[in-house]
Amino acid sequence: MLKLGVNIDHVATVREARYRGLVVGGPDPVAAALQCEAAGAHGITAHLREDRRHIQDRDVWKLREMIRTRFNLEMANAPEIVEVALKLKPDIVCLVPERRQEVTTEGGLDVVGSLAGLTTTTQRMRDAGIEVSLFIAPDPAQVEASAQCGAQFIELHTGSFAEHFSDPEKGETELNRLIASARQAHGLGLQVNAGHGLNCENLAMLHRVPHLVELNIGHSIVSRAITVGMTQAVKEMLAAMEGYRG
């Protein structure tokens, strides 16, 4: 069964727009996470950025205490955040690139160019009993390097696929890149997640990508929840994921 991890970052984005720097105010990302779980989500994802633009430290500690599914902490390979993760002990960390000027994570990690540092962090996490995923573009060299550094998972960046899926030619090209990378990763013993830009419209096409374990989806669920509520938004996404054969 294909699993759904809901990224609740943008719930915190709305809160911080009004209550930044305060310890009160809503909406509450932890409450949203609990609603997602109750609606059938298999895990919760939150990105503790170095600039703390949305999720705050208090959020991740409360999430670790409250959620009963799988807690995925997205994070940069930055010393401060690494130490937070080692104390927090989420079920899994997903290492992602960060740039201060970006609105959200825009690209995949350069595992090839950062192999030594990522290998060290991966080993530290695994020694602490925390699984490791690397957020990468569907590129053969990055998949190979991810296996070399000792990660158990990769998360394929589906942003380019999501951008072009409505164009038959470009969409097929991007889909084939994802298919090839998923097959390569599986052959190397890596488990395969995917995320970025996914929604109920493009998921049917994504079903052709083999070996997927989990999709991490945030913006489309949170934005849909403004209209229909978080419970219904999660259920709609789960319905779109039904029938995946892997």
Q: Taking phi first (over 0 means left), then psi (-120 to 50 degrees means alpha), and beta for anything else, what does residue 72 get?
A: beta
* 3-class secondary structure, 31: helix
Whether residue 178 contacts residue 212, with contact meaning beta carbons closer than 8 Å, is answered with no
Rg, Å, the chain Cα set:
17
147 Cβ neighbours under 8 A, 6+ residues apart: 185, 188, 189, 190
The total number of residues written for the chain in this structure: 246
Q: Catalytic residue numbers?
A: 47, 74, 196
Whether residue 10 contacts residue 218, with contact meaning beta carbons closer than 8 Å, is answered with yes
Say which DSSP state 139 is in. Answer: -
Q: Of the candidates 124, 7, 4, which has an alpha carbon nearest to the alpha carbon of residue 60?
A: 7
Say which DSSP state 194 is in. Answer: E
For the chain, where are the E strands, in sequence order? 3-7, 43-47, 70-75, 92-95, 131-136, 153-157, 191-195, 212-217
Tokens of 173: 């090209």
